[in-house]
Amino acid sequence: MTAIMPISFLLNGRPVRLDVAPGRRALDVLREDLGLIATREGCGSGECGACTVLVDGETRLSCLMLAVQLDGRKVTTAEGLGSPASPHPLQTAFAEHGAVQCGYCSPGMTLAAAALLARNPSPCRAEVREALAGNLCRCTGYVKIVDAVMAAAETMRDEDDRP
């Protein structure tokens, strides 16, 4: 008999309460139980960053986290970053700069970039590359992705400067 553990956390701004088996991965609970399919499984071993989520504002690889580690935390997935009706500036910039090809890595990339811009609103290109180093893209070079993050940073700074 497998023990079930109750967990509760804030997911994309909404409280969630679930009963989970202690060995279940956060990635599986987010995708299978909660239907948040933007969080992707790439390598399943923490190498590609496709499963990146923000936990208390820090990037985490959900394929390497147990769901019970989400208990009491604030979790953000790409669905919580923005929506089709109201995309986050990073999501808009990725589309505008052609930084989305197959789109598989985009959710993880945008979340890693969001974490960077939250702690450094004016990064240089090298800082963007370093922040995205844990996220692999097999379709593009990284120039368009870095261009998109730089453009989003500028947009977000401009929005912050508005009265």
CATH 3.10.20.30 given to domain 5-80: yes
Residues forming CATH 3.10.20.30 domain(s) in the chain? 5-80
As a whole number of angstroms, the distance between CA 33 and CA 15 comes to 14
Neighbouring C-beta atoms of residue 162, cutoff 10 Å: 5
As a whole number of angstroms, the distance between CA 36 and CA 161 comes to 33
Q: What is the mean pLDDT of residues 125-150?
A: 93
The fold of the 89-161 domain, in CATH, is DNA polymerase; domain 1 (1.10.150)
Q: What is the pTM of this model?
A: 0.94
Instruction: Look at the alpha carbons of 95, 112, 47, 145 in this order and tell me if their dihedral is positive or negative.
Output: positive
The tens digit of pLDDT for each residue in 48-100 reads 999 999 999 999 999 999 999 999 999 999 999 998 899 999 999 999 999 98
Residues forming CATH 1.10.150.120 domain(s) in the chain? 89-161
Q: How many CA atoms lie within 13 Å of 64's alpha carbon, on the beta-carbon side?
A: 13
pLDDT for residue 1 is more than 70? no
